[in-house]
């Protein structure tokens, strides 16, 4: 990860970055933002003279590089910061790391009286835009290793930089877990990653249930879905319980380490990216590690039901009836609707044994998420307006995106089954909504305290775009951490 340093006395000025913003009332021209720290004499005037001839507009993330043979700096970079709010600075940070991947070090002259949130955005943009996933050597790896942020009062920004660093580090961890091939990340491996990561964080406990314990305690959904794989299922339970906590949140994440669809096997195009089917688990686990690293004063219990949905002689079948934790039963007519089966166990366990104040789940649950909302927006469901509003606001502030969807009662009738309490995969009706309605049946007394996000679509992106990089996005980590930081 890039080393980012705040400094009042920039001592490396070979590559200097000056922020520029659109000129007021003129979208085609720009002006440099006055810097807060001492800079080489004349450099600000030089930048001001450059913007016109170089056609710099100040759009967030735009970079213009001016070479100055024999000078200090040797290269002057004009960095567009647009509206100069947190989101624009995030885009600027991402644009900057993309434009400077072949440098080794750059110094950014931050404006005077910059808001700490803007520095948070900048640092997240730098650290997320420079993410790459690669197994083994990377001959094309960027050479940029250090960014100095020059500012008159570094102490005023230390907290913002630390928060941004933890947020980005955990988002990068979620991306790593999600990008990892499924030949590596079976449930046992995933659980070991969580245990290892938590070992560095005092006060964070992790318990992993093995297949035998899951069967003995009645986690029938996890056992059924994991039954077809040579790599048995696991349930990871993390607990962050600071002494000053008043609110108890349970986070649940779908952790299907590969989804073939099972006996109801997926066709080739639908299966090729199914190593990402644990992105919900990766997000809640990473957010919990982040909350512990930031010592947030809120109790968090995190559940990651992990299973590989495979095709084999021991796989569960369409038509099987599954008994979930606590006793509700599901008729499974389609083994590809496996996510809701493992989530049902985890939700029921949370309601019956953990009794939290709030219950949140994230899952790459249905292809219908993308049909409804495209590739960038999560589908958010809750009967609790306040909770939905709070999560939407936190997700938006963090630079992620979700849209609230209806839990229309009209569709509940599709969940009826002749042979079990519930039908897990109705063939009629809106897919993402039906999955949410099915999950709601397992929330018992906590129905009003529950919120679900179908994040199938935004968990992945197919091209670099601002702070997103091709592949896993780590969606949810940033929004969850923002929201958790508002609780106590
Ligand atoms: N993991 C998939 C959903 C998915 C699809 C995630 C595309 C990311 C991208 C899930 O397990 C699934 O297969 N859902 C089915 C449900 C159906 C069988 C009721 C779907 O969406 O088709
Ligand atoms: Mn599936
Ligand atoms: Zn799935």
* Distance (Å, whole) CA 211 – CA 111: 56
Give the pLDDT score at 37. 79
Return the residue whose CA atom lies nearest to atom 16 of ligand 1. 337
Q: Are residues 17 and 110 in the same domain?
A: yes
Q: Which atom of ligand 1 is nearest to the CA of 334?
A: 18
Q: Are residues 179 and 292 in the same domain?
A: yes
Q: Are residues 350 and 446 in the same domain?
A: yes
Average pLDDT of span 213-228: 98
Does residue 121 line the site of ligand 1, with CB under 6 A?
no
Q: Are residues 305 and 407 in the same domain?
A: yes
* SS3 category, 81: coil
Measure 33 CA to ligand 3 centroid, in angstroms.
Answer: 48
The two three-digit tokens of residue 277, written as one number: 């089917």
The model's pLDDT over 361-412, given as tens digits with 9 standing for 90+, comes to 999 999 999 999 999 999 999 999 999 999 999 999 999 999 999 997 789 9
Q: Tell me if the bond preceding 418 is cis, omega within 30° of 0.
A: no
Q: How many helices (H) and strands (E) does the chain have?
A: 14, 21
Q: Which of 182, 272, 311, 366 to mutate to test the pocket of ligand 1 (most atoms within 8 A of CB)?
A: 366
Q: Which atom of ligand 1 is nearest to the CA of 427?
A: 19
Q: Is residue 309 part of a domain?
A: yes
| Cβ-contact 477, 170 below 8 angstroms | yes
Q: Is residue 157 part of a domain?
A: no
- By residue range, what is the domain housing residue 54? 3-152
Q: Is residue 91 part of a domain?
A: yes
Q: Which atom of ligand 1 is nearest to the CA of 309?
A: 11
pLDDT band at 17 (very low <50, low <70, confident <90, very high): very high
The model's pLDDT over 319-332, given as tens digits with 9 standing for 90+, comes to 999 999 999 999 99
Give the pLDDT score at 163. 98
Give the pLDDT score at 91. 98
pLDDT band at 414 (very low <50, low <70, confident <90, very high): very high
Q: For 192, what's the count of Cα atoms within 13 Å in the CB-facing half-sphere?
A: 6
What is the number of structural domains in the chain? 2
Does residue 456 line the site of ligand 1, with CB under 6 A?
yes
286-302 burial, b if ≥16 CB within 10 A, otherwise e?
bbbbbbbbbebbbbbbb
Question: For residue 231, is pLDDT > 90?
Answer: yes
pLDDT band at 488 (very low <50, low <70, confident <90, very high): confident
pLDDT band at 113 (very low <50, low <70, confident <90, very high): confident
Give the pLDDT score at 434. 97
328-359 burial, b if ≥16 CB within 10 A, otherwise e?
bebbbbbbbbbbbbbbbbbbbbbbeebebebb
Q: Are residues 103 and 228 in the same domain?
A: no
Q: Which of 280, 336, 415, 423 to mutate to test the pocket of ligand 1 (most atoms within 8 A of CB)?
A: 336
Q: Is residue 464 part of a domain?
A: yes
Residue in 12, 75, 101, 266 annotated catalytic: 266
Question: For residue 25, is pLDDT > 90?
Answer: no
The model's pLDDT over 298-323, given as tens digits with 9 standing for 90+, comes to 999 999 999 999 999 999 999 999 99
Q: Is residue 159 part of a domain?
A: no
List the CATH number of the domain containing 115.
Answer: 3.40.220.10
Paired with 105 in beta bridges are 146
| Cβ-contact 458, 475 below 8 angstroms | yes
Q: Is residue 161 part of a domain?
A: no
Does residue 454 line the site of ligand 1, with CB under 6 A?
no
Give the pLDDT score at 242. 97
Percent of the chain at pLDDT exceeding 90:
94
Q: Are residues 245 and 316 in the same domain?
A: yes
According to DSSP, residue 316 is labeled -
**Helix, strand, coil tally for the chain in percent (to 5):** 35, 25, 40
| Cβ-contact 233, 307 below 8 angstroms | yes
List the CATH number of the domain containing 439.
Answer: 3.40.630.10
Measure 233 CA to ligand 2 centroid, in angstroms.
Answer: 16
For the CA atoms of 466, 469, 472, 478, the dihedral, rounded to the nearest 10 degrees, stands at: -40
Residue after which a domain boundary falls, among 127, 152, 177: 152
Measure 59 CA to ligand 3 centroid, in angstroms.
Answer: 39
Cβ atoms within 10 A of the Cβ of 409, count? 8
Give the pLDDT score at 213. 98
Q: Are residues 68 and 205 in the same domain?
A: no
Q: Are residues 283 and 414 in the same domain?
A: yes
Q: Are residues 272 and 358 in the same domain?
A: yes
Measure 488 CA to ligand 2 centroid, in angstroms.
Answer: 36
Measure 33 CA to ligand 2 centroid, in angstroms.
Answer: 50
165 in active site:
no
Q: Are residues 148 and 173 in the same domain?
A: no
Question: For residue 27, is pLDDT > 80?
Answer: no
Q: Is the pTM value of this prediction over 0.95?
A: yes
Q: Are residues 176 and 146 in the same domain?
A: no
| Cβ-contact 263, 313 below 8 angstroms | no
Q: Is residue 412 part of a domain?
A: yes
Residue after which a domain boundary falls, among 121, 152, 183: 152
Q: Is residue 158 part of a domain?
A: no
Q: Are residues 317 and 215 in the same domain?
A: yes
Give the pLDDT score at 246. 96
295 in active site:
no
Q: Which atom of ligand 1 is nearest to the CA of 434?
A: 19
Q: Which residue has the tokens 């947020």?
A: 167
Return the residue whose CA atom lies nearest to atom 7 of ligand 1. 367
Give the pLDDT score at 279. 99
Residue after which a domain boundary falls, among 152, 182, 203: 152
């Amino acid at each position: 990860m890039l080393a980012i340093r705040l400094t009042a006395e920039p001592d490396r000025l070979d590559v200097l970055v000056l922020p520029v913003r659109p000129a007021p009332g003129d979208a085609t021209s720009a002006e440099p933002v006055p810097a807060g720290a001492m800079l080489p004499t004349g450099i600000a005037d030089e930048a001001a003279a450059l913007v016109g001839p170089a056609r710099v507009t100040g759009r967030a993330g735009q970079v213009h590089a001016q070479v100055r043979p024999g000078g200090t700096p040797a290269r002057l970079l004009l960095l567009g910061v647009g509206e100069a709010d947190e989101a624009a600075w995030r885009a600027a940070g991402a644009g900057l790391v993309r434009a400077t991947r072949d440098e080794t070090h750059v110094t950014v002259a931050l404006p005077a009286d910059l808001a700490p949130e803007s520095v948070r955005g900048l640092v997240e943009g730098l650290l997320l835009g420079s993410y790459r996933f690669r197994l083994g050597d990377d001959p094309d790896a960027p050479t940029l290793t250090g960014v100095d942020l020059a500012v008159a009062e570094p102490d005023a920004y230390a907290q913002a930089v630390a928060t941004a660093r933890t947020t980005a580090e955990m988002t990068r961890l979620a991306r790593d877990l999600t990008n990892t091939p499924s030949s590596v990340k079976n449930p046992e491996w995933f659980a070991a990653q969580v245990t290892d990561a938590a070992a560095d964080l005092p006060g964070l406990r992790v318990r992993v249930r093995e297949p035998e314990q899951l069967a003995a305690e009645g986690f029938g959904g996890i056992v059924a879905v994991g039954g077809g794989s040579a790599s048995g299922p696991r349930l990871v339970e993390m607990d962050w319980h600071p002494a000053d906590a008043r609110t108890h949140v349970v986070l649940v994440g779908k952790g299907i380490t590969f989804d073939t669809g099972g006996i109801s096997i997926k066709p080739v195009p639908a299966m090729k990216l199914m190593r990402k089917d644990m992105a919900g688990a990766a997000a809640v686990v990473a957010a919990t590690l982040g909350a512990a690293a930031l010592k947030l004063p809120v109790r968090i219990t995190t559940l990651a039901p992990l299973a590989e949905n495979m095709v084999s002689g021991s796989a569960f079948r369409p038509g099987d009836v599954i008994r979930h934790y606590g006793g509700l039963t599901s008729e499974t007519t389609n083994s590809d609707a496996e996510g809701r089966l493992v989530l049902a166990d985890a939700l029921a366990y949370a309601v019956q044994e953990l009794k939290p104040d709030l219950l949140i789940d994230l899952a790459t649950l249905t292809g219908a998420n993308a049909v409804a909302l495209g590739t960038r927006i999560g589908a958010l469901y809750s009967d609790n307006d306040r909770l939905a509003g709070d999560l939407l606001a936190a997700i938006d502030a963090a630079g992620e995106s979700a849209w609230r969807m209806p839990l229309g009662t009209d569709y509940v009738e599709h969940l009826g089954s002749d042979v079990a309490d519930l039908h897990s995969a109705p063939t009629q009706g809106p897919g993402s909504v039906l999955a949410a309605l099915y999950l709601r049946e397992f929330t018992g007394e906590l129905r009003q305290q529950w919120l679900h996000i179908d994040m199938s679509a935004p968990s992945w992106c197919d091209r670099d775009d601002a702070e997103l990089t091709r592949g896993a996005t780590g969606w949810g980590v940033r929004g969850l951490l923002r929201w958790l930081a508002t609780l106590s």
